Amino acid sequence: MRALIFVESPLQLLNAMEAVHSFSLTSYKIVIRLSGFKISDLQLINTAKALGLNSVSVITINAGRKNLFDLIKIIYYSNCFLFSKIDYVFIGNEDSNFFRKIIFQFNKRKIVFLDDGSKTIVLANSENKLDKVYYSVFSLSQINVLEQNKNKYHSLKERLSQSNFKINHNKIIFLGQKLAELGILPERDYLTLIIEFSKKYNNFEIDYIPHRGEDLGKLSAINKLHNVEIVDLDYPVELYGLYNSFLPHKVTSFYSTALYTMKIIYPIQVESILISTDNLEFKKNIDLIYDFYKINNIVESSSCESVQG
């Protein structure tokens, strides 16, 4: 089968790799859209190299305000696939204005949407889900997930099976999120939660992996905690096992999608820290994600609770 695949984030690219294997694609072309943000673009390029993906095209269309060259490229790519003979079109981000301009060329029955973080969970509970098909890691009855080709990260796990991992029982990975930057929590509240987590796991080494775009001042304050170290990755955390000979005792975050994916890929514990926000713009969607995690046996806790096990 033949396919075109459009992605613009490391996780989308990882899911694209899984789709290539799940659908037994004999001919495919992956179009990676870079945004002009250095950290994000570096992660995308490194992910492509780590996965050894072939037939990849890389284009740069700046996020935010577009220049003349961006507009020319949008016009070009919006029309250059008009006569492509393909069986599937995989789209990484259905909210992308650039991808929307490409989608209209194809019969909607050929379009399959890839997971883009927890957006799939949110879309499953929205009205904007009709007549759409998803290749997803999530089991969600509300949307049309291709169960016969569900994303279980078989390809990545097959590569990782050749590694002889050891568990570092003194190591915890904390996945940072842009809760303060997005106005979900005040920065002081976010820092208080991290401080409490540091105290809770006082005898552990905590690697804090920041999300792209976290405030440097906030990260500097976190890095001063005695058992916390800021660790920047230039690849998605799901590929952790390709770069390290050990796995952490536990991966913790608030409601990062990586809690769910890491639980599927690696034999490790995951923990979700509950937060409450007064920001009504985000509250409903955050609650949906927490509800999903609870159903799927992801441990939830307050950072103030005593250490379990």
What per-residue confidence (pLDDT) applies to 81? 61
What per-residue confidence (pLDDT) applies to 75? 65
What per-residue confidence (pLDDT) applies to 186? 95
CATH fold for domain 2-157: Rossmann fold (3.40.50)
Question: Residues spanned by CATH 3.40.50.11110 within the chain?
Answer: 163-301
Q: Is 170 helix (H, G, I), strand (E, B) or coil?
A: strand
Collect the ranges in the chain with pLDDT lower than 70: 54-55, 62-84, 109, 127-131, 141-149, 302-309
- What CA dihedral angle connects 260, 262, 266 and 269, to 10 degrees? -70
What per-residue confidence (pLDDT) applies to 309? 34
What per-residue confidence (pLDDT) applies to 70? 65
What per-residue confidence (pLDDT) applies to 41? 86
Q: Cα dihedral sign for 243, 170, 250, 301?
A: negative
What per-residue confidence (pLDDT) applies to 130? 58
What per-residue confidence (pLDDT) applies to 129? 59
Report the alpha-carbon distance of residue 140 to residue 118 in Å, rounded.
Answer: 12
254 vs 192, 202, 225, CA distance in Å? Answer: 14, 19, 19
What CATH number matches the domain at 163-301, 3.30.300.30, 3.40.190.290, 3.40.50.11110, 3.40.50.2300? 3.40.50.11110
- Residue 258 in tokens: 């990586």
What per-residue confidence (pLDDT) applies to 58? 77
290 vs 139, 182, 265, 293, CA distance in Å? Answer: 15, 18, 20, 5
Asked if 62 and 37 touch (Cβ cutoff 8 Å), the reply is: no
Asked if 144 and 130 touch (Cβ cutoff 8 Å), the reply is: no
What per-residue confidence (pLDDT) applies to 14? 93
Beta bridge partner(s), residue 133: 112, 144
What per-residue confidence (pLDDT) applies to 145? 66
- Residue 48 in tokens: 């492509």
pTM of the predicted structure, to 2 decimals: 0.86
What per-residue confidence (pLDDT) applies to 308? 38
163 phi and psi, to 5 degrees? -95, 145
- Residue 207 in tokens: 């690697």
The number of beta carbons lying within 10 Å of the beta carbon of residue 154 is 11
Nearest to 56 by CA among 18, 17, 86, 89: 17
Report the alpha-carbon distance of residue 279 to residue 260 in Å, rounded.
Answer: 24
What per-residue confidence (pLDDT) applies to 227? 97
What per-residue confidence (pLDDT) applies to 13? 92
Can you list the positions of beta strands (E) in the chain? Answer: 2-7, 27-34, 56-60, 88-91, 111-114, 133-135, 144-145, 166-175, 205-209, 228-230, 246-253, 269-273, 299-301
Considering just the CA atoms, what is the radius of gyration of the chain in Å? 20
